[in-house]
Structure 1
Amino acid sequence: MHVSPELVRGVAEVEVTPRGLRPHRLPAWVREQFPDGQLLSMESQPSGVRVVFRTTANVVELVTHPTRIAYPGAERPRGRIDVYADGRLAVRDPLDGGDRIEVDLTTGQTTFHPGEAHTTTVSGLPPGRHRIEIWLPHNETVELTELRADAPIEPDDATGPLWVHHGSSISHGSNALAPSEIWPAVAARRAGVELRNLGLGGSALVDPFLARVIRDAPADYISVKLGINVVNLDAMRLRAFVPAVHGFLDTIRDGHPEVPLVLISPLFCGVHEDTPGPGAIDPGSIGTGQVRFVATGTPGDVALGRLTLQVVRRELRSLADRRAADKNLHYLDGTTLYGPADAAELPLPDGLHPSPEAHQRIGTRFAEYAFTGAGPFVR
């Protein structure tokens, strides 16, 4: 059977294609208003997106057609599909096949290589009615082609509170092992909440259209993690950044005046703590098996209004203090999730993105902060 759109969670919408359904994390009006190649590539990667249903089947198969971007000399592990049965991991399936778009990091030239569909199978389910949750890959675009089972498939009507999160490539899941192990997924699964992940690699740039998306989205809890992309793209000076964040939060509050909202400053990242962007790939690391990122700005340029992570944290804390009348706005210093001591123990493999172990730590810490005790997301 074709995959029914009502089974797909964590999306803005699904696009009907000749193969089936393509999940989109941003609505069509954003993609039409700002058809930036980087943004379109990131929003089409279904980070945090799940196919959820109930069935008495013994065997379930999901057929997908992946499309991935590959960088010769800087290869990354393939995406994976995680299948949970009644809350327990039943299958972790590395993708193979699919289309491949190769991008030469030295010339920018792209080459397209077509491939075959991929089938993910979970079998040996015990008798009874099961809740199946299939986490789609966080780092490859997929089209959902077919969903097969040896018993009827029914929508799962049970939903928990909805948490909407926006952030950068770290929230998107860069360097995480699998889609259910990106840090927002770790936190959401621990807390038992529904996740809509608007982590967009390279695209957490305080864009007004993202604030509008969050404003219009159903949400019981909201968090926004801002700063690292603005620094490593050298996208703003201080004078523009602070009012932009105010406007971003104001727009969200137009739709969610009293929803608990956590403003998260950047995690620790040594290359940008005191050095402005732009960030870049160290050319000497290409072909070594582990690319590394460097900051190309000049330390001391903060006097000219250029941003570093330390400046961003200082300004976001000050901004939150000046919005103290909003009792449901909470500031979280990102270094409490991943700080200098964590970087010494679990270094950023590429100088910018956390390791799989660090994703687990960040997600666990956020869940403990937000969803336990007197946390901002405790009802």
Structure 2
Amino acid sequence: MKIKILLLLPILLPVFTFQSLAYDKKGKITGDLPNLKNQFDNVVITMRGFEEFGDAITTVDTVQAKGGKFEYHFSVPGTRMVSFTLLKNNEEVTVLAIKDAATSPQCGYFQEICLGNEDIKINNKYTFWPEDVVYCEGLKENKWYYAFDMNLAPAGDKVTKQFIKAHPNSYATLQAVFFQKLSFSNDELSDMLDLFSYDLKQSVTYLMIRKYLDKMMALEKMNYARNFNWLDINGTSYDFKTVLGDKKYVLLVFWSSTCKECSEEIAELKEFQEKYATLVSIVNLSVDNDYRKWKEAVDEEKIPWYNLSGLPNNKDGIREEYCVDTGPEFILVNSDGNAAIKNINTYFYGLKMDFIDILGTPLK
């Protein structure tokens, strides 16, 4: 019996379509678990797409197993996160923990693996492992997905041009570039995108990064003063000339009320303001889409500089104008309204280093 459930979230990306990379290739999962052959008769294979790339689909297929063996054919756009649940008489037995053969012996197990259109084999030939731990051979994308996951890997474990040259067909690496895009300069990101294969350049992920890069390169050349017209929590409008005042620079700080990291930056920003009070005007630009939560956060934090947004009526205004979806992110603008630093900084530490270059005075 094969059951398929499609969970479609109300997210539409009409600009993008899955092209040749999506379904012109197929993958296969072959399972051989002799040590568990009497403990399960079906396998539930769950494949979860990445909403970030317009693939908001989860498929749940139940595949029959005989003598511990099963086989599953599939085709996915890019990659999916996959898990395996063993059933016996329609009752759950266990969720498999998967050891990726491509990773080092020190690497642990995964209950979800990142899988492209690959042919993989799952077995439990190593009897000294627990029964629910299986060995997976043939995985290509999984190792790089976890290696470049900034939530798991060290902050310095970033994608490099040298790595892309060696792995131009790795979709997981392309995805990692998407998630790490704010940590690269526009020139670095452009060079990286050029190194991916033709097939990956047809993918939704590539097109999204390219759209982001085009926007950032336009921002690099644009005059921020031109479209600067945002509101504080009381509905008072501010243009660029007003927030600049008699300062030389405006520091734009992108944040949201639900961003823990944004709150953690406030103390350092206050120290920064004291150091450069005569040179820099700080302006928080909120990417919140809930006016009440934004107002409560502003009142609670008691931040002594400008806090502006498009709310309550233009909730996507900041996001669309500056191509920024989250925080904390920082960009320094000079008195003419042009970017003083080439790319947006994800970390305030990076901004301080840029200030040393511009002003010759480090923040102590």
Where on the TM-score scale, by shorter chain, does this alignment land: which range? under 0.3
Q: TM-score, normalised by structure 2?
A: 0.24
Higher relative contact order (CA 8 A, sep 6+): 1
Q: TM-score, normalised by structure 1?
A: 0.24
